[in-house]
Amino acid sequence: MNRTDPVTERVLIAGAGPVGLVAAANLVRHGIPVTVFEGGANLSTESRASTFHPPTLDMLADLDVARPLIAQGLIAPKFQYRNRRDGLIAQFDFGDIADQTRHPFRLQCEQSKLTRIICDKLRGDPNFEIAFSTPIRAVTQDSDSVTVTVERDGKSETHSYRWLIGADGARSDVRRSLDIEFEGFTWPDRYLVVSTPFDFHGVIPGLTTVSYVADPVRWHFLLQTSTLWRVMFRIAAEESDELALSAEFVEALMAEIVPGIDRYEVAHTTLYRVHQRVAKTFRRRRAFLIGDAAHVNNPLGGMGMNGGIHDAMNLTERLAEVWRGNKPESELDRFDQQRRLVTKEYVERQSIQNKRNLEAADNEFRDLLQRTAADPALTRDYLLRVSMIGSLRRAELLG
Ligand SMILES: Cc1cc2nc3c(=O)[nH]c(=O)nc-3n(C[C@H](O)[C@H](O)[C@H](O)COP(=O)(O)OP(=O)(O)OC[C@H]3O[C@@H](n4cnc5c(N)ncnc54)[C@H](O)[C@@H]3O)c2cc1C
């Protein structure tokens, strides 16, 4: 490659989603200059992740953004599993692992609140710059720089940086341009999220802020946020998108939640196709993939954004050391080794298992949950796994 323009002495981040902005915040905290190129005209307002796990909150506290996030969300120390026949099957309390985290709870809060909090905090810092409506379209590299082609005001521009972090989401242009395979599959069923202001606490005694309802045909889960409840249903492959989004169908689904209640105010509905994919590598020389650009999974267990934030922290801690000359560039291979392995071993496996458990036809899952909830050692192991503390420990052990 012939590079003609000078190399800008900053780390370039593609994408101002939650993962890209956490990466930016941690680099800026370490005094490393960062530029973010965001394809959209503004930060996204899309309603997607709403669950932050305990170790993610610990990381966000280190970035000094956990407090304002918690102030805008709902603290959920407990979560439960139910089924239609027995009602409550088992309940778990993150208080049982309070010695392992500074935040022994899940936080229910929309990811769009985190991106705004981080952007507001970083704005004005000379080490932070962000350009909107600037999608990265192509990436090339040589031994000491990465050159990106971006679109801006209808024109193509090229810019060179020392390092590139691709946090540009599931359809990542960075990943495509680096020619990294996105291995995995797409589930034949889809997920429908129905948001409603209805107060489920008033009609389901003992309901917690996060509750999963197992059922072989129509499992669903109920998640409360500070303004609405989100109910997520499985939509079978044979049910068309048009049917799934029709008012009658949504009404019939909602009517199955609580016997005797068949009318709900619906604030909005969104239908998602769900993928289970992991990039073949998270590093190609001077370019990295993190977050959805590196891996996507079904949302059961709320691991996508959380895992992406863990990627961002793992990578940027190492990159800061390499930038300052304290560690060799080979240090960055450990990011790929650790994060790719735990994504395969934990995030992918656990999210697939969560889906299978909820739709299991026999009572095996119910019995397992009840045995787990009755045994303090099993409960602790289980909570360490679902909170993702287990995956972070495993990454550390890989060295
Ligand atoms: C219904 C649903 C519920 C979910 N719930 C949870 C949950 O509770 N917990 C959880 O952990 N995860 C959850 N997830 C997953 C979570 O939303 C994603 O994992 C998360 O958004 C990934 O963040 P990201 O920053 O990697 O990517 P994104 O949020 O997709 O952000 C990527 C950014 O890059 C920008 N971009 C795209 N292309 C370019 C380009 N070429 N150049 C520059 N910028 C570009 C985009 O505009 C966007 O701003 C859920 C997902 C869905 C669909």
Strands 283-284 and 268-279: unpaired
Closest ligand 1 atom to the C-alpha of 303?
Answer: 11
Given a cut of 80, whether residue 3 has pLDDT beyond it is no
Residue 254, both tokens: 């909602």
- 19 within ligand 1 shell (Cβ under 6 A): yes
pLDDT tens figures, 306-327: 999 999 999 999 999 999 999 9
Q: Are 54 and 104 in contact (CB under 8 A)?
A: yes
Mutate to test the pocket of ligand 1, among 305, 343, 355 (most ligand atoms within 8 A of CB): 305
Q: Are 312 and 167 in contact (CB under 8 A)?
A: yes
Q: What does the longest C-alpha to C-alpha distance in the chain come to?
A: 70
Average predicted confidence (pLDDT) for the chain: 94
Instruction: Determine the Cα angle at 271 with ends 23 and 243, to 5°.
Output: 175
- Residue 347 pLDDT level (bands cut at 50, 70, 90): confident
pLDDT tens figures, 36-72: 999 999 999 988 889 999 999 999 999 999 999 999 9
Given a cut of 80, whether residue 155 has pLDDT beyond it is yes
pLDDT tens figures, 357-368: 888 877 888 899
CATH number of 7-77+103-184+276-361: 3.50.50.60
Give the percent of the chain with pLDDT over 90. Answer: 86
Nearest Cα neighbor of 311 from 278, 276, 335, 287 is 335
- 20 within ligand 1 shell (Cβ under 6 A): yes
Euclidean distance between the first and the last CA atom of the chain, given in angstroms as a whole number: 35
* Residue ID of nearest Cα to ligand 1 atom 9: 302
Average pLDDT over residues 247-258: 95
- 37 within ligand 1 shell (Cβ under 6 A): yes
Closest ligand 1 atom to the C-alpha of 51?
Answer: 8
Report the distance separating Cα 125 and Cα 279, nearest Å: 33
* Residue ID of nearest Cα to ligand 1 atom 31: 17
- 228 within ligand 1 shell (Cβ under 6 A): no
- 274 within ligand 1 shell (Cβ under 6 A): no
Q: Where are the domains of the chain?
A: 7-77+103-184+276-361
Report the distance separating Cα 17 and Cα 128, nearest Å: 15
- 348 within ligand 1 shell (Cβ under 6 A): no
Q: Say what the pLDDT of residue 2 is.
A: 46
DSSP result, 131-171: ESS--EEEEEE-SS-EEEEEEETTEEEEEEEEEEEE---TT
Strands 283-284 and 220-224: unpaired
Which three-class secondary structure state does DSSP give residue 344? helix
Q: Say what the pLDDT of residue 4 is.
A: 62
Closest ligand 1 atom to the C-alpha of 290?
Answer: 26
Which runs of E-coded beta strand occur in the chain?
7-14, 34-37, 51-52, 74-76, 78-83, 87-93, 106-108, 128-131, 136-141, 146-152, 155-166, 182-196, 210-214, 220-224, 229-235, 268-279, 283-284, 287-289, 295-296
Report the distance separating Cα 228 and Cα 223, nearest Å: 9
- 18 within ligand 1 shell (Cβ under 6 A): yes
256-261 contact pairs (CB < 8 A, 24+): 256/218, 257/200, 257/213, 257/220, 257/222, 257/231, 258/200, 258/203, 258/204, 261/203
Given a cut of 90, whether residue 216 has pLDDT beyond it is no
Q: Are 295 and 277 in contact (CB under 8 A)?
A: yes
- 301 within ligand 1 shell (Cβ under 6 A): no
Given a cut of 50, whether residue 1 has pLDDT beyond it is no
CA of 151 to the centre of ligand 1 (A): 21
Average pLDDT over residues 266-295: 96
pLDDT tens figures, 105-140: 999 999 999 999 999 999 999 999 999 999 999 999
Q: Are 65 and 114 in contact (CB under 8 A)?
A: yes
pLDDT tens figures, 160-188: 999 999 999 999 999 999 999 999 999 99
- 139 within ligand 1 shell (Cβ under 6 A): no
CA of 97 to the centre of ligand 1 (A): 28
- 336 within ligand 1 shell (Cβ under 6 A): no
